Structure 1
Amino acid sequence: MDLQFLKYHKFSLLLLLSGIAFYFAFSYDLERTDFIKLITLYAALFAVSFKLIQLEKRNFLFLAIAAIVFRLIFLVAFPNLSQDFYRFIWDGNSVAEGINPYLNTPYELLKTFAGGTEIRQKLINGMGSLSAGNYTSYPPVNQLLFAASSWLSGESIPGSVIAMRSFIIAADLGILYFGRKLLLYLKLPAHRIFWYILNPFIIIELTGNLHFEGIMLFFLIWSLYLLHLRKWIPSAVLLGISISIKLLPLLFLPLFLRYFKKPEREIDRINSSFFEKIDFKKLSGFYLITIATAAVTFLPFLSSEFFQNFFQSIGLWFQKFEYNASVFYVLRWIGFELAGFNVIRYAGIILPVITTAILIHFAFFRRNENSQILIASMMLGISFYFFLSTTIHPWYLATPLLLSIFGNYRYILVWTLVVILSYSAYSNPEFQENLWLVALEYLVVFSVLIWEVFQRKKFTA
């Protein structure tokens, strides 16, 4: 590092060193029950990242190195905000041993082992009774990543953590590469990718807490990049793989309807109807390849019990679990006031129907004919889905955050800052949410969203 660089980047280097110190404290000296320390470190890291991007937005290499260094700090640390990784290792060990993870709960499977259950008992203790008592909900490609981590580590718990973290870091580097290229193709500032890559929320929730949204998003952004280049066949394959890591991208399928428009020379602008302008041959091919790719990944796990167990587990998220919700919590309060009981059973059916209606509306009435508008529709669609969900874990926001860098809305970026308030539940021995903090979180998010919509209307008027 030459003296000229040190002279003009002293403050940036000081920020980098501060970030390293804060991430060390976060990864090795933090209990999730210590809420004050948690939000203090998180806010400090946000300030560091914000200032680094502001000062070095034209220095791609500096920001990229900072992002890698921050992630490597977590390499050998155990996740301290989530225990889900124990279930990932359990499923990975099962697949590595040739056991179908969809057929038994961990509690059921533990009874079948005559000996050698010490590691499995540690995993069950770590994941908790809720996870151990339910069937897995992780799709096949995700399971294969779990199994690869298990195989590489010899079924060691620390080794599996390092292997999974390595996959997630590699995926983030892929997002950095394809996300930057797509931004450049769309003639948008390339430094926007760092609002995702350097965001403490992403580093902590994905690299730190081992959530696989980042790997799903790697395949999704690669798919969108190829789609922008009109390479729709490999794009469809990658989208199918993304779906088989997390089912979430299934929500985006209706939004591709208007993207596959016939060339202008084949369209009669005056007499052609909406449907006559759509290239249904390519559209149907895109859908078929996407669904077929995802379906093929399920084949090794199919059995008579698979569908019942898998969809039973998925259904729990809609009709049993509730955490950090917005609209649903209002409906729940109204339900208690008017009917005297929790309406989650009914809301879990009605709210997804409303989400589907919104996505269909976006498919038909938003002009998703170019990549930037398509991605904006995806971001808004997934936002409405989360606003209407009964359960919003912080790491879910990785998807709308990545999509948001291709548009002009920043409410998602703000949400990734205030979502840390939801962790107040862990400071309570009975895991009781502080609804005042949840209300504050969504008050900030909705206020910024409404302000941005107003400003956008004002700007375009």
Structure 2
Amino acid sequence: MYIFYRLVSNSKSKFWWWFLGGLALRFVLIFSFPTWSDDYARFLWDGELVSMSQNPYKETPENWVAENSESKTAYLDHLFRVMNSPAYYSVYPPSNQLIFWLGSIGANQDIKQGIITLRILLILGEIGVFWLLFSLLRDSHLGNKSVILYWFNPLVILEITGNLHFEGLVLAALLLSLWALKQSKLAASGAFWSLAIGIKILPLMLGPSLLGSSVFRKSKVFWVTSGLVLIALFSPLIWDGSWANLLESIRLYQGKFEFNASIYYLLREVGFWIKGYNTIAVLTKGLSMLTFASLVYLAWKKQPKTYSQLAGVWTLSYLIYLILQPVVHPWYIIPAFGLSLLTKMKSLGFWTFSVIFSYQAYGNPNNYENPWFLFLEYGIVALALIWDYKEGNFNFRTDTLAIHEK
């Protein structure tokens, strides 16, 4: 239905029908429980601690339960039992904690109400993404029809609205940053970029692309505003030293978990052959350095000068990160996919289809990943990347909408 609707729609179609159709699909899931992810339990747990005026970064859930038995409720006990990471400190930045707190208020000690509250907040973010994409595409040579590719995408609907992941809000903040650039409002652009970092730290990797552009490199107002917003967003971590626990969780996550990887899995097999054991500790550090070096080279090579060129460099930055990471959950692709709609690149769209094969691992108790499904997923991605390369879709030199600092 998604592909058919994309084919039969045209630029003259009333966008209100696009908007209402995609919104209806999201509200179909309003009362459902997330079935492919239990991350919502940690979201609501952290939000409940914040509502109790406690710091979610200071203790792991296991330690909190052991030391606060008098404060434990049936609601917290249920969340603790379904949580997937009770032995780890929270890995979510303070801006996320604010959203979790709103979810906790809406929950009122009821998990289903908490899920509905978070879902409504995420749907509001999705509405913002629709209008921002529509606005940015309307004035480009691509045409606003491409907004359909996001608005009706099954992966986007299931992972953001259904499974309550916050990549849609990250995309909204990044699109707001690009929209502000289009309006030549560099201070606002920097603020929205920092907001994206405050929701998920990952957009920090887009910094080299901004430094690689003369438009941003010379803009004091952009960097001052970005810095002030970041300080404001992350100041709760500085006051009581919670930043150390957050960094520890990030470090453990990067050095322990594996899922749906590509290059990493190939290198891991080489490590088994040479060393006889899993060399994840060495590989993750090496791939992190390679990722950083690649992002710096990309920024130097492309040097974006228009907001659409910047969207292309951001898309490639995400693509490099995802290809080299040991953990690639399906929802990680969504910000890159949304940004790619502002370019001619098609490979991220194909990946939103092929990544569905990674759900095969959820069909068995041990989450075993069948290599054939991995070959199928990344084979499609590889073919799409080759197509993009041959079509010249990685070149962003046809843009005409330059950014001028006011």
Q: Shared fold (TM-score greater than 0.5)?
A: yes
Question: Is the contact made by 2:343 and 2:393 (CA closer than 8 Å) also made in structure 1?
Answer: no
Give me the whole-angstrom Cα distance separating, in 2, the residues matched to 1:299 and 1:108: 24
**Which of these residues, 266, 279, 289, is aligned with residue 225 of structure 2?**
289
Give me the whole-angstrom Cα distance separating, in 2, the residues matched to 1:260 and 1:218: 25
| Partner AA of 1:196 in structure 2 | Y
Question: Is the contact made by 1:239 and 1:290 (CA closer than 8 Å) also made in structure 2?
Answer: yes
**Which of these residues, 166, 175, 179, is aligned with residue 133 of structure 2?**
179
Question: Is the contact made by 1:171 and 1:218 (CA closer than 8 Å) also made in structure 2?
Answer: yes
SS in 2 for 1:244: helix
CA 1:219 to 1:458, structure 2 compared with 1: closer, same or farther past 3 Å? closer
Give the Å deviation of 1:403: 0.8
> Which stretches of structure 1, 4 residues or longer, exceed 4 Å deviation after superposition?
457-460
**Which of these residues, 122, 126, 130, is aligned with residue 78 of structure 2?**
122
| Partner AA of 2:178 in structure 1 | L
The equivalent of 2:105 in structure 1 is: 151
Question: Is the contact made by 2:213 and 2:299 (CA closer than 8 Å) also made in structure 1?
Answer: no
Q: Within 5 A, what are the aligned runs for 1:63-74? A: 63-74=18-29
In the alignment, structure 1 segments of 5+ residues that lack a partner are 1-47, 262-277
SS in 2 for 1:288: helix
Question: Is the contact made by 1:110 and 1:120 (CA closer than 8 Å) also made in structure 2?
Answer: no
SS in 2 for 1:456: coil
Q: Within 5 A, what are the aligned runs for 1:31-46? A: none
| Partner AA of 2:349 in structure 1 | L
Question: Is the contact made by 1:328 and 1:388 (CA closer than 8 Å) also made in structure 2?
Answer: yes
Give the Å deviation of 1:428: 1.4
The equivalent of 1:363 in structure 2 is: 299
Give me the whole-angstrom Cα distance separating, in 1, the residues matched to 2:79 and 2:271: 38
**Which of these residues, 205, 213, 228, is aligned with residue 167 of structure 2?**
213
Is it true that 1:104 corresponds to 2:40 in the alignment? no
| Partner AA of 2:83 in structure 1 | M
CA 1:333 to 1:149, structure 2 compared with 1: closer, same or farther past 3 Å? same
**Which of these residues, 446, 449, 457, is aligned with residue 382 of structure 2?**
446
Is it true that 1:91 corresponds to 2:27 in the alignment? no
Q: Deviations over 1:416-455 (max 9, x none)?
A: 1111111111111222111221122111101211122123
SS in 2 for 1:114: helix
**Which of these residues, 335, 348, 366, is aligned with residue 412 of structure 1?**
348
| Partner AA of 1:348 in structure 2 | T
The equivalent of 2:403 in structure 1 is: none
Give the Å deviation of 1:102: 0.5
The equivalent of 1:314 in structure 2 is: 250
The equivalent of 1:272 in structure 2 is: none
Give the Å deviation of 1:287: 2.3
Give me the whole-angstrom Cα distance separating, in 2, the residues matched to 1:57 and 1:255: 34
Question: Is the contact made by 2:345 and 2:393 (CA closer than 8 Å) also made in structure 1?
Answer: no
Give me the whole-angstrom Cα distance separating, in 2, the residues matched to 1:452 and 1:298: 38
Equivalent pairs counted in the alignment come to: 393
SS in 2 for 1:390: coil
| Partner AA of 1:98 in structure 2 | S
Report % sequence identity: 31
| Partner AA of 1:163 in structure 2 | T
Q: Deviations over 1:98-117 (max 9, x none)?
A: 11101111111112131543
Give me the whole-angstrom Cα distance separating, in 1, the residues matched to 2:383 and 2:7: 24
Give me the whole-angstrom Cα distance separating, in 1, the residues matched to 2:241 and 2:277: 33
SS in 1 for 2:92: coil
Question: Is the contact made by 2:100 and 2:118 (CA closer than 8 Å) also made in structure 1?
Answer: yes
Pair member with larger Rg:
1
The equivalent of 1:168 in structure 2 is: 122
Is it true that 1:50 corresponds to 2:50 in the alignment? no
